Amino acid sequence: MKTALITGVTGQDGAYLAELLLSKGYKVHGIKRRSSLFNTERIDHLYQDPHEQNINFKLHYGDLTDSTNLIRIIQETQPDEIYNLAAMSHVKVSFDTPEYTANADGLGTLRILEAIRILGLTEKTKVYQASTSELYGLVQAVPQTETTPFYPRSPYAVAKLYAYWITVNYREAYGMYACNGILFNHESPLRGETFVTRKITRAATRIAMGLQDKLYLGNMDAKRDWGHAKDYVEAMWRILQQDQPEDYVIATGITTTVRDFVKMAFAEVGIAIEFKGEGIDEKGYVAQCTNPEYQLELGREVVCVDPNYFRPTEVELLIGDATKAKTKLQWEPKYDLPALVKDMMQSDIELFKRDSYLLEGGHRILNYHE
The residues annotated as belonging to the active site are 132, 134, 156
With 0-12 / 13-18 / 19 or more C-beta atoms within 10 angstroms meaning exposed / middle / buried, residue 348 is buried
We find the least distance from the C-beta atom of residue 160 to ligand GDR, in angstroms, to be 7
Closest CA to 107 of 148, 66, 47, 58: 66
For position 86 contacting ligand NDP by CB under 6 A, the verdict is yes
Distance CA 239, CA 126 (A): 10
52: amino acid identity, one letter: E
Q: Which does 240 bind (CB under 5 to 8 A by kind): ligand GDR, ligand NDP, none?
A: none
CB 212 within 8 A of CB 266: no
We find the least distance from the C-beta atom of residue 358 to ligand GDR, in angstroms, to be 25
* DSSP H helical ranges for 154-210: 155-174, 196-208
Q: Which does 64 bind (CB under 5 to 8 A by kind): ligand GDR, ligand NDP, none?
A: ligand NDP
Q: Which does 219 bind (CB under 5 to 8 A by kind): ligand GDR, ligand NDP, none?
A: ligand GDR
Instruction: Compare residues 153 and 186 and give the one whose CB is closer to ligand NDP.
Output: 186
CB 92 within 8 A of CB 311: yes
Instruction: Compare residues 12 and 148 and give the one whose CB is closer to ligand NDP.
Output: 12
Over the window 93 to 132, marking each residue x when it contacts ligand NDP by CB under 6 A and - when it does not, the resulting string is -----------x-------------------------x-x
Task: Name the phi and psi angles at 6, rounded to 5.
Answer: -115, 120
Contacting ligand NDP (CB under 6 A), which of 2, 3, 58, 63? Answer: 63
Contacting ligand GDR (CB under 6 A), which of 125, 133, 167, 252? Answer: 133
The piece of 5-13, 43-51, 120-128, 142-150 that touches ligand NDP (CB under 6 A) is 5-13
Cis peptide upstream of residue 245 (ω within 30 degrees of 0): no
We find the least distance from the C-beta atom of residue 138 to ligand GDR, in angstroms, to be 13
Task: Name the phi and psi angles at 262, rounded to 5.
Answer: -60, -50
Contacting ligand GDR (CB under 6 A), which of 100, 151, 195, 285? Answer: 195
CB 201 within 8 A of CB 271: no
CB 178 within 8 A of CB 113: yes
106: amino acid identity, one letter: G
The strand pair at 283-289 and 57-61 is best described as unpaired
Q: Which residue ranges make up the site for ligand GDR (CB under 6 A)?
A: 89, 91-92, 132-134, 184-185, 194-196, 199, 217-219, 222, 224, 258, 309, 311, 314-315
Q: Which residues bind ligand NDP (CB under 6 A)?
A: 7-8, 10-14, 31, 33, 35, 39, 63-65, 85-89, 104, 130, 132, 183, 185-186, 192
